[in-house]
Amino acid sequence: MRNFILGVVITILVLVFGGLGLALLGFFPTRANVTPPQMESHIAMSALDNSVDRHAPHTTNPVPPTDENLISGMKIYAMNCGVCHGDLDRQPAALEKSMYPPPPNLIVHPPDDAEWHLYYIIRTGVRYTGMPAWDKALPDQDLWKVTAFLSRISKLPPAAQEYWKKTSGGVAPPVSESAEHDHDHN
């Protein structure tokens, strides 16, 4: 039994120091202008989702989703996030293919996570990726405003939709079927 445990410990040490050694000797690639293998993206995304679920406080958004706040969230997004995550014109982002892992286009594929989940990612960033932590760069109110905007991209109220069209040269925001449905009944 003792030999077995010793064997396990030595194997772990060899793996850890072997991996470190290979890294220090320059065997790991560093290029950011390539696409990660699908398996890697899949595992990393699940690990991120589960870590956020474990660490993020389940707070509700203190900023009410008024027209004014959503438009303000849209402006904050366009100013700080569009370069990586895509602008309101729904074209590919300038840096879409320049990072490893690549930033998802949040305008074309709006996130469907809870607001506390999005807010935590925005506030604290994502380690080992290009996603910055915004807590020291933007006031907390702005983080909640951009969160409110992101979680309502395809169900924005008419005033925010108008503002979107005006600033993106006539490109309309995406509208989800359920939002159209809600609208019919309002």
Radius of gyration over alpha carbons of the chain, in Å? 21
Site residue total, ligand HEC (CB under 6 A): 22
**By CB under 6 A, residue 70 contacts ligand HEC:** no
Distance CA 22, CA 6 (A): 24
Check: CB of residue 111 under 8 Å from CB of residue 151: yes
Check: CB of residue 85 under 8 Å from CB of residue 18: no
Distance CA 152, CA 171 (A): 17
Q: How far is the CB of 125 from ligand HEC (least distance, A)?
A: 8
**By CB under 6 A, residue 124 contacts ligand HEC:** no
- Give the residue with the Cβ less far from ligand HEC, 134 or 163: 134
State which of positions 147-186 bind ligand HEC (CB under 6 A): none
Q: How far is the CB of 59 from ligand HEC (least distance, A)?
A: 16
What is the total residue count of the chain?
A: 186
**By CB under 6 A, residue 84 contacts ligand HEC:** yes
* Candidate list 91, 114, 130, 165; residue touching ligand HEC; CB under 6 A: 130
**By CB under 6 A, residue 101 contacts ligand HEC:** yes
- Give the residue with the Cβ less far from ligand HEC, 8 or 42: 42
**By CB under 6 A, residue 108 contacts ligand HEC:** no
Distance CA 78, CA 72 (A): 10
